[in-house]
A and B are shown apart, each in its own frame.
Chain A
Amino acid sequence: MADQTFPIPGTPDVGLSRGAAVLEWLHSWVVTVDHKKLGILYVVYAIFFMLVAGAEAMAIRIQLAIPHNHFLSPELYNEFFTMHGTTMVFLVGMTFIFGFGNYLVPLMIGARDMAFPRLNAFSFWMTAFGGLLLYYSFIGGFGLYGMGSAPDVTWWAYAPLTERAFSPGHNTDYWALALIVTGFGTLGAAINTLATVFSMRCRGMTLFRMPLFVWLMTVTSGLTLITITPLTAAQVMLTIDRYLGGHFFDTQAGGSATVWMHFFWIFGHPEVYVLILPAFGIASEVIPVFSRKAIFGYPAMVAASIGIAFVSLSVWAHHMFTIGMTSVSNAFFALSTMMVGIPTGIKIFNWIATMWGGKIRFATPMLFCTAFLFQFLCAGLTGIMLAVAPWNWQLHNSYFVIAHFHYTLTGSFVFCMFAGIYYWYPKVTGRMLSETLGKWHFWLFFIGFHMTFDTMHFVGILGMPRSIYTYEPDRGWNTLNMIISVGGLIQAIAVLILAWNLIDSFLHGSAAGNDPWDAWTLEWSTPSPPPPYNFATDPVVRSRRPLWDIKHPNDPDWKYER
């Protein structure tokens, strides 16, 4: 069944009119079961929603730039920050990682396609329709007459606010149902990735010869299996409450709002590791290639990844220090959270050791990865600060927390995704992205990022709570908020440069060739873009860097690798 794919109609019949050819081309994208096309669809979808959620963030920042602003109505403001968070996590983050995973995992392990191509297409379209359902909320209900019925209960949707009595209308239903739908898509993608990695590797590709990106996708998929499902379960409970009159989170009938918090963060905290682990994978591919050295401490990197996944399952309640848990729980979750620092520390040291003494070439992907290293370190350090329960009591739900997790999700995850886009774009399209525009993108985004999120730490410490519509001018937050908003604007310009670069280079970029970065993993042995069948002959692998072995037959890796 895996062998049954549609022939890709790249060259329509000569007799076809122009309109028919376009239709044929569109049709080929809709019915495709090819992992590369689905990977591209995932990433394009992620970039589209990144622009949408970015626009929402800009509206939020304009609203907060000066005190007593009325750029947005309070209701729309609530909807925008809810949709910004929900979109960025579920429609941008998850689709980015499974897009990269879809495109690269089969190529990197020398496979023809994913294990289940049709499940793959099904997963993508479930995710896509979930996203459309979520955004339909803006025009659903009485949307066209007023502010729309978009979800407005924050992306963690605490009970009992989400109960029928407090959230009438369909705002919360859109949130729950859309995420159940995308959740099934994600579950399918995770199952598919695991089956591909364990059952489709080419001859000689043992588990410990797999590229680290494949390892990280494996760990992330395993984590997804037990992470996204609790959210689905909790949302089914919420839907039962809202539609069938259940009492799970109905505090008046003995239900508990705290239980929702636990269930949500049992999903919510591993989820950020689900996002960041593939980002680590991209850094682990880019940094060695641009340092001209093999990755330092490969087994330690694998062990640390699995360690992070395990530890991440026991840290969720550090989101809940302020609800009044027992001191034993506080101590347990503070300590377990700090333990995450150990495996992540191993990773950071290994990346630095890879760069140490290397012949570093600062092309755009490497710039993003280098910035990632330092920003991720800062994110980890503020994370450990927030893990200290008494400190957390002071700063919980302040902008300090916002700054912390944007350092992980923007400063680390998004930077690595950008690195991945610049690194693999030549493989996907056959054309190089413009380096000049790339450098502009990097430096503007870097400066904008630090203006925004460094400053957010300060307003957080000065006491500005998150999710507030506006603030009084005498709090001393005015200048800082203006700086944050200007930084946001600079980031927006940088992302628009990326969008322009993606389009312009696709049309006018210089030809890339098979292996523009002189890299070592299997995907670079195929033509750019790879043909539908990936490899003309099934590759055979003898070390972790199969292309190095081919390029240096006198000095192959497998002589030294143990």
Chain B
Amino acid sequence: MSSIPIFADENWRLPSRGRVAMFSLIIGESAIFTIFVVAYIYYIGRSTYGPTPQILDVPWFNTVCLLSSSISILFAERAIERGRMRSFGAWWALTMLLGIVFLAGTTVEWKRLIYTDGLSIRTNLFGTTFYSLVGLHATHVVVGLLMLSLVMIFTLLGRVEQRHAERIQVLSLYWHFVDAVWVVVFTVVYMVGR
């Protein structure tokens, strides 16, 4: 510690509280997802009756949409950092669109599962674990979209400026997390568990 100059710390800098808080939230959320993923893996093949994971189709299109939304939001972050507000708005809108397409894809998938394959959350253990894990992720997408649309509204009203770049980046962290979790959920549910 003695190597730290004591009063020369004119540049006393601390990490941004927004980032620290968002990282903390992400750690906490990861623990929630871990529990659901562990439950899913543990219960694979333990259903005593009813449909099995073989009825699932791999949602490639959905996955591509959601993962590319992580890239588009990255462009939006860069745009606002450089003050290009129109470009920011465009990338932000694209991100939202990709998120909505993902949710729509999930809706179509669930509708088929419920009405064609007769799998609901109470059908059997597979239904319970599948809908709760994928549903937990979808809930996070919905929350993310709500926050993205708040930013979108303020962007359209012209209230978002370059000085808000920091906050936008903190919010984007959450969106990146939601995408990263999808990689885990996708692997577990559609690759390993099927």
- A residues near B (Cβ < 8 Å) are 115-116, 187, 190-192, 194-196, 198-201, 203-204, 206, 208-209, 221-222, 225-230, 232-234, 236-237, 240-241, 244-248, 250, 253-256, 259, 263, 266, 540, 542, 558, 561-562
Measured between beta carbons, the chain B residues less than 8 angstroms from A561 are: 1
| Residues A233 and B32 in contact, CB atoms below 8 Å apart | yes
Q: Which residue of the partner chain, among A199, A227, A254, A266, contacts B17 with CB atoms under 8 Å? A: A199
Task: Provide a sorted-by-A list of 25 A–B residue pairs whose CB atoms are within 8 angstroms.
Answer: A115-B17, A115-B20, A190-B28, A192-B21, A195-B21, A198-B15, A198-B17, A198-B20, A203-B9, A221-B24, A225-B24, A233-B36, A240-B128, A244-B121, A245-B121, A246-B121, A246-B122, A248-B125, A248-B128, A253-B48, A253-B124, A255-B46, A256-B43, A259-B42, A558-B6
The CA-CA distance from A177 to B170 in the complex, in Å, is: 30
| Residues A201 and B14 in contact, CB atoms below 8 Å apart | yes
User: With A225-B24, A259-B42 given, is the CB distance from A248 to B32 under 8 Å?
Assistant: no
User: With A194-B20, A246-B122, A256-B42 given, is the CB distance from A562 to B2 under 8 Å?
Assistant: yes
Asked if B35 CB lies within 8 Å of chain A CBs, one says yes
Where chain A touches its partner, the secondary structure class is helix
A-facing residues in B98-142 (Cβ within 8 Å):
121-122, 124-125, 128-129, 132, 136
The CA-CA distance from A230 to B33 in the complex, in Å, is: 9
| Residues A254 and B48 in contact, CB atoms below 8 Å apart | yes
Q: How large is the interface on B (under 10, 10 to 19, 20 to 34, 35 or more residues)?
A: 35 or more
Interface centre among B25, B34, B35, B48 (most CB of A within 10 A): B35
A-facing residues in B1-47 (Cβ within 8 Å):
1-2, 4, 6-7, 9, 12, 14-18, 20-21, 24-25, 27-32, 34-36, 39, 42-43, 46-47
| Residues B29 and A229 in contact, CB atoms below 8 Å apart | yes
Q: Which residue of the partner chain, among A187, A198, A253, A256, contacts B14 with CB atoms under 8 Å? A: A198
| Residues A230 and B35 in contact, CB atoms below 8 Å apart | yes
A-facing residues in B134-175 (Cβ within 8 Å):
136
| Residues A229 and B31 in contact, CB atoms below 8 Å apart | yes
User: With A191-B28, A230-B35, A253-B48 given, is the CB distance from A199 to B20 under 8 Å?
Assistant: yes
The CA-CA distance from A250 to B49 in the complex, in Å, is: 13
The CA-CA distance from A199 to B18 in the complex, in Å, is: 9
Knowing that A116-B17, A199-B14, A233-B36 touch, tell me 12 more A-B residue pairs with CB under 8 angstroms. A196-B17, A199-B16, A200-B14, A222-B27, A229-B29, A234-B35, A245-B122, A247-B122, A247-B128, A253-B48, A254-B48, A255-B46
Q: Which residue of the partner chain, among B12, B18, B124, B136, contacts A247 with CB atoms under 8 Å? A: B124
| Residues B48 and A206 in contact, CB atoms below 8 Å apart | no
The CA-CA distance from A248 to B7 in the complex, in Å, is: 59
- Would you give the shortest CB distance from A468 to chain B, in whole angstroms? 32
Measured between beta carbons, the chain A residues less than 8 angstroms from B7 are: 204, 540
- Ranked 8 nearest A-B pairs via Cβ: A245-B122, A199-B17, A233-B35, A246-B128, A229-B31, A115-B17, A225-B28, A195-B21
| Residues B15 and A247 in contact, CB atoms below 8 Å apart | no
Interface centre among A199, A227, A542 (most CB of B within 10 A): A199
A-facing residues in B25-83 (Cβ within 8 Å):
25, 27-32, 34-36, 39, 42-43, 46-49
Q: Which residue of the partner chain, among B14, B16, B47, B136, contacts A254 with CB atoms under 8 Å? A: B47
